[in-house]
Chain A
Amino acid sequence: MNKWISVATAAALMVGLAACSDPGADAPTGEAVTWADPTAKLDGVKLTVWAAQNTNTVPEKVVAAFEQATGASVDVVTIPDPYEQGIQTKVATGDKPDLAFWQPTSSMLTAINAKTNLQPLDGAPWLSKLSPELRDITGILDGTRYAALITSPAVEGVYYNKEVFAANGITEAPKNFDEMVTAARSLKAKGVTPFFEMAADRWATQWWVQVQLADAAKNGLWDKINTKQETFSSPVVLDAIKKYKSLIDEGLFNADIKTAKFEDQGAALLAGEAAMVVQVNSFFGQLQAKADTATLDQKIGFFPVGPSGPVGTFIPDQSNALVAFRTGDAKREAAARQLLSYWMGPGYQEFVTDRNTISLQPAVANPPGVPKALLDVHATLPTAVGSMQVGAVANPDLYINLADMIAGTMTPEEVAKATQDQFAQLAKAAGAPGF
């Protein structure tokens, strides 16, 4: 018996030592990247694309066209929410697709260990076709491009109900944060709920703080936070959190702010039960599911907002970009790049038409049915500043802490501290200097 135990123990220790390396690690190779003709034959090649529950229909048409043109077979696999967590866990255990939807910000590219896991996309054939101001807006980590932007990146700003504004004598969209608050107070005085927030689903709470930081972000706030010159407890961030809380305490938000969810937000704005919602493009996607373009053009408007002027804060999300993984299989890696160049090349017109979305390439026209509000959002991009996710080296759960503040279990100071602590922890794990 004792012999068996010692044998087992020895074996366990051996395996234990051998296993003490990251199963997701593959040594990157340094060969030059080649880009095949988008429609070159790929018979017998099988590609896997990972998509989230809200993006799994996005590639349908373009993938079908690619399969027909090249003979490759492409499998779109839905990874259940929370999407990013699921992918990080899978990749950590060595499970990789050929392509995946992924938030192309530097913090999320760091989070998936882009340098090891992703194929560099420098010199991709479609880059020259993109609008120059959008080409380098995101998808780049330490000078290397890892993500292909396929749709117009999301912008944090204010969606408002035009009819509610008009009925209450507001003829012009507010131009900055203070004007927006003034408008809100006049709406409240007339018995209208000015803002609608959804603290039960939590994730949108961070937009309120981030839009207030637009000016600071322009002046390098996130670089300062990355280098510890500022923290989330610095007055600039803390004041934004306090301002958000004071506006809630003032009663400018919906009464059911603590229990309201994402779906409630869209329903309330469409029905005119609330005048304004600070949100991103996926919110408009929800509105599009509830109403047609004509209704939306008539009812819903968008204006960007920052402390000093109409500045949008852009935050590309998982639905805006694709990354190609290093799978170790050169043939499939090349095929994955080929699918991207097909998507952004010969297949792009059909893609934007099918998805009724804005084209990123001047040579490819916008489909006629794109709602006005989305065009307004897109128009803010050239002057927009990067969000926390774009500028900071790590992406802490600011939104969870803010939702806790709304629920009454945290003070603004505690929100700032908890966010900073987590930021430091993530930055340290990511190997950011100084943490």
Chain B
Amino acid sequence: MTAVDESNTSVVARRADALLRVEQVQKYFPITGGGLLKRKVGDVKAVESISFDVVPGETLGVVGESGCGKSTAGRTVMKLLDPTGGKIEFEGRDITHLSRKEMVPLRREMQMIFQDPYSSLNPRHTVGSIISAPFKVQGVKPTRGVQAEVQDLMARVGLNPEHYNRYPNEFSGGQRQRIGIARAIALRPKLIVCDEPVSALDVSIQAQVVNLLEDLQDEFRLAYIFIAHDLSVVRHISDRIAVMYLGRIMELAESERIYKAPLHPYTHALTSAVPLPDPRAERSRERILLHGDLPSPINPPSGCVFRTRCPKAQDRCAQEIPVLRELAPGHYGACHFPEERHLI
């Protein structure tokens, strides 16, 4: 359990127009022992000092495999979870320690879309009341009345406005995701955190929803944090991508660079593992196989967390945590031995 805080020197250049800025944010979940006292015996280090920012109209993709902390990161920057450490700024204002109540007005500006369109909609509420809930919570009275506004929103996301009084179970998975999207854009937010928004959908429906998200972004100049495990989808929609592993950002760069010239060995393995829908390309492709399993986030490896599975690991990797640093203009990596490779 050494060498945790030394890494806090990593620097991601500050962009003046940042909408959301996240600095060294940590999220630990305490583990308590049995018995009466519930003594704390350790922490699950779900997110370990991550830094990034998002500018208006931009999509930041966050990719990584299960257990890498990407969903926790999304919930923490939304302040649905309280960060253990670090700083979160929204439009230049420090929101790290705002209470739930103080956050309410800010919810107009930042919204969330969830993976499971089945469990994120109340089955006993009509679509109309689900989509209009943000108006009620925020005390907003649309000039033309709530129903007209909601029906406009429904039309905008490709739902039939006449279905205003129907219940979620009368809609298919793709349509339910559209309901979730209509609710998220109701108050014209500036930022939407999308947590695996298309993972539960069939391919043809997935493409419809991705296109809708892109259209809404152009129309309202929305910023997205797009969290997903599917690298092809993330690459398609994102301007920049953060690759996470065991709670840390391993690499952060423009989408093109993450796929065409990744520098981090984990990104190499990840991008090479994605099968392309192109049989001829597949036959000649080099695949970097990782061995072993993801280490426990309770007791992560010393030094670089990826070293136990890294084909390039050396002694230094066990001793020193690699800092996320700028390796090429706008291209950040946390590796002692970065190397550009072309794998697609």
A binds B: no
